[in-house]
Structure 1
Amino acid sequence: MSLADELQAHEVKGEWSIGPHGGEFSKIVMDAPVRGMDDILVKIGVDPEQFEVVGDTFRANAWQQSKRTADGDRDVVTLHSYKGEFRKRRDKIDLPLLMSRDIFRSYATSRATHDFTAVVAPSDEQAGKTDHRGGTPELIERVKSAQAAWDEYLKAKRPQRAIIALGGDGIEGFESSGGSGGPKAYWSNDLSLTQQLDLYASMVFDWIAVTARHDLLHPIIVLAVPSNHGQWRVNGQAIGKPSDDLGLHSVRNAVQRAKDLAIPVELITPATDYDLAVGVTVHGVKIALAHGEECKPGHEAQWMAMQAKDLRSPFRDAAVRLTGHYHHATLQQDGQAPTADGRVIPAWHIRLPTLDGGSSWFKNKSAGVDADPGVVAFAVDARGLRMQDFTIFS
């Protein structure tokens, strides 16, 4: 007799909800003890080969109850009650250290002919998160699609230089503030913390590898910043310095991997262990990047102006200002900025879209709307942001 057949021999009562990435059960009452957590999943119609009970959510109780027998006498029976949560099995996710081991053979090269810099800015991947757009398999699909679009962009534009501006929140984490961080993340995430770090490192490496396939005249520049989901936290509280960031750890590993393969690449992170922003100047035009959790929507200009009071701030005199965190893409002109040779050009703020599986928590709590995923790409030359080359890979 199969497990399912055996379980059907016992009546089950209770409440349960089932979704594509997991669910929960409670008040499951049976007149015989289960032999394992998989028994309960089968009984409520969930495939234990695809899902697993989250161990620290599982609770079991037993009690005795009097029951009348067929001959009119009374007997004592033992009843068993169970509750808990279940999720997609983590061991069912195919997670090689590098997402695309054949990536150097899968993209066509192009010759650099134009004197401008192409920039791609992936942000808020939140690897390990599950939401209405799915989990890790769907995230990998979105990232690969964006990387293929970036390859075509480089092939068509043929820039002499390229920048990969990483907007932060590359991992979901388990102690992050807000969102699905905290206790709920222990069952809603479909990757462990180490798997999240490996996956994010793989995605960053692939961005570098795709870019390296093109005949650039300068080393690839990677900009990376700390962010709230990568922050080192214990019981939800931040500890350590901003530079003690798990996402930055993955980025450093990816860049080192690229250097080991003789890819010309330069990593730029904030100037000190306590700074949150990073900047670079190309063609005399300054580009600044911060994750932006402190840069509240509607108050971006004020926040950037306050940052610019610091003579060392990357946002001081920046003509292109990039922030992530809020998932909704915007492009807004914000005054003017000087170039290195004393000219004045338009200054732009670009809020980066997300690559994550959905922002239901943000929508339900405050915004009322979710945002479609995407990746911003644009070009910069001596005149600043080239509007004709601004696009969002979606």
Structure 2
Amino acid sequence: MNLEDLARRGPTVATGMPRKEFAPSFQAVGPDSYELLTLTEDATAAIEELRLLGVTVPEGFVPRLVEAKHDPAAWHRDEAFTNGKRTPAVTRGIVRRRWLFDFAAMPAQDVKRLVDWVMERKPAATIKDPDVDSAVAVPSDWQLGKVDSRGGTKETINRVMDGIDQAVDLFRSMKPKRIRVFDPGDILENFDNTPGQSFTNDLSLPEQVDLAATLTTRMLKSFAEVAPTDYYAVPSNHCQWRRGGKAAGKPADDWGINNARQLARVFGEAGRDDITITIPEPFRESLVVDIDGLPIGMAHGHQANNPDKLVDWWRGQTFGNQPMAAARLAIFGHYHSWRLQEVGDSKHLLVAKTSDSGSSWFTNLKGEDSSPGMVTFTVTDGRWNHLQVVGGV
């Protein structure tokens, strides 16, 4: 009795589930009785049958027939000629087969061959770090003027400067060709995001603006002592120009963007061609720049309701052919708690840490808090590496 005979006697003949439930025999349900048929363990015959069907079995895999099923809706007619005369046509049924390619079923001798190959393989050459093309710093969400669980402006300045000083030391040891500073925004606290800001802030809005300019100027001058430095900034919700808590202008009407424009003017007038400033077009909230072969995109992050939705926002920007469509690494701020996530075709999404004074409202609501700091990493030949957090308490 062959498989075709068994398939015709019942609707389905199966060996069972793959892996541990798989057995080299199956029970055939016929109209009169149950019969047991033992299938061959000869993988060579199975591979040859599949080859005749045009299927190539990958090396190291063993094919297992797990189902043979008669298809009552399919048939074909065979015709033959004998001595030039046509013989009566024969109608034949179609048997569908389902195969499992089981790597775990590799013969013992093949496993031993692989083990011997692993043991005899020579160690790979030691990977040495190449020269660093770019060192990257992400100073995010300073929110200058804010008072919360980690203190006020004085404490924030100490955290910010600790991060800058530690980054300078780190970058000096790396000897990069350039330093890239990605600022996702919220450099100051502002007064029109929540009613409580009018009662808790320890700096007026003009003072916040002045301090933001002072700290970013100090940061860029410090980095430029190590290598030529490029500064990138995007609009954000705390820096947004607002009236009655609502946006009052275009995306570029933003205190962080205004700060970047003033930095460009001051450094330009001083002839500092070792410091460059880049901002988005006036009606855009994101930008993408090529950093040594790696397209890096940046937006503040308030465009999504929570960090889990940032991928959806990025996906929408890609579908709409917006600037972020070209990014392989996307940098966001806003959420104060850093994360690194691989998405799509090995793209990466990075949410930066904050150096602000805390967000007790969120801790009271969710019970979560994150330590402060500044994210740094390197880019060389289109690849990022050496992810590290500097600064902190």
**What interval of TM-score do these two structures reach, taking the shorter chain for normalisation?**
0.5 to 0.7
Alignment partners' CA distance in 2, 1:235 and 1:280: 34
Q: How far has the Cα of 1:254 moved from its partner? A: 2.8
**Equivalent AA in structure 2 for residue 369 of structure 1:** E
Give matches, 1:257-276, under 5 Å. 257-263=266-272, 264-270=274-280, 272-276=281-285
Q: How far has the Cα of 1:253 moved from its partner? A: 1.9
* Percent of pairs with identical residues: 33
**Equivalent AA in structure 2 for residue 390 of structure 1:** L
In proportion to residue count, which structure has more helix? 2
Match of 1:223 among 232, 235, 238: 232
- Kept in 1, the 8 Å contact 2:184–2:298? The answer is yes
**Equivalent AA in structure 1 for residue 342 of structure 2:** Q
**Equivalent AA in structure 1 for residue 232 of structure 2:** L
Alignment partners' CA distance in 2, 1:385 and 1:348: 10
Q: How far has the Cα of 1:221 moved from its partner? A: 1.4
Give matches, 1:1-394, under 5 Å. 114-176=131-193, 181-182=194-195, 184-214=196-226, 216=227, 219-263=228-272, 264-270=274-280, 272-295=281-304, 296-311=306-321, 313-336=322-345, 346-365=346-365, 367-386=366-385, 389-393=386-390, 394=392
**Equivalent AA in structure 2 for residue 169 of structure 1:** D
Equivalent residue of 2:264, what SS?
A: helix
**Equivalent AA in structure 2 for residue 308 of structure 1:** T
- Kept in 1, the 8 Å contact 2:150–2:357? The answer is yes
Alignment partners' CA distance in 1, 2:250 and 2:326: 26
- Kept in 2, the 8 Å contact 1:355–1:375? The answer is yes
Alignment partners' CA distance in 1, 2:244 and 2:326: 39
Deviations 1:67-115 (A, max 9, x none): xxxxxxxxxxxxxxxxxxxxxxxxxxxxxxxxxxxxxxxxxxxxxx934
- Kept in 1, the 8 Å contact 2:378–2:387? The answer is yes
Deviations 1:154-192 (A, max 9, x none): 11111101111111000100002xxxx32x211200000
Equivalent residue of 2:211, what SS?
A: helix
- Kept in 2, the 8 Å contact 1:209–1:258? The answer is no
- Kept in 2, the 8 Å contact 1:205–1:257? The answer is no
Q: How far has the Cα of 1:231 moved from its partner? A: 0.6
- Kept in 2, the 8 Å contact 1:287–1:320? The answer is yes
Q: How far has the Cα of 1:238 moved from its partner? A: 1.2
Q: How far has the Cα of 1:309 moved from its partner? A: 1.7
Equivalent residue of 2:376, what SS?
A: strand
Q: How far has the Cα of 1:362 moved from its partner? A: 2.1
For these two proteins, the number of residue pairs brought into alignment is 260
Equivalent residue of 2:191, what SS?
A: coil
Alignment partners' CA distance in 2, 1:149 and 1:309: 39
Alignment partners' CA distance in 2, 1:230 and 1:381: 32
Equivalent residue of 2:239, what SS?
A: coil
Alignment partners' CA distance in 1, 2:367 and 2:326: 35
- Kept in 2, the 8 Å contact 1:129–1:189? The answer is yes
- Kept in 2, the 8 Å contact 1:205–1:255? The answer is no
Alignment partners' CA distance in 2, 1:371 and 1:124: 13
Query: Which of 232-241 and 126-135 deviates more?
Result: 232-241
TM-score, normalised to structure 2, is: 0.64
Please tell me whether Structure 1 or Structure 2 has the larger radius of gyration of its CA atoms: 2
CA RMSD of aligned residues (A): 1.6
TM-score, normalised to structure 1, is: 0.63
Q: How far has the Cα of 1:142 moved from its partner? A: 0.4
Unaligned runs of 5+ in 1: 1-112, 337-345
**Equivalent AA in structure 2 for residue 156 of structure 1:** S
Equivalent residue of 2:134, what SS?
A: strand
- Kept in 2, the 8 Å contact 1:359–1:371? The answer is no
- Kept in 2, the 8 Å contact 1:202–1:254? The answer is no
Equivalent residue of 1:286, what SS?
A: strand
Alignment partners' CA distance in 2, 1:375 and 1:115: 19
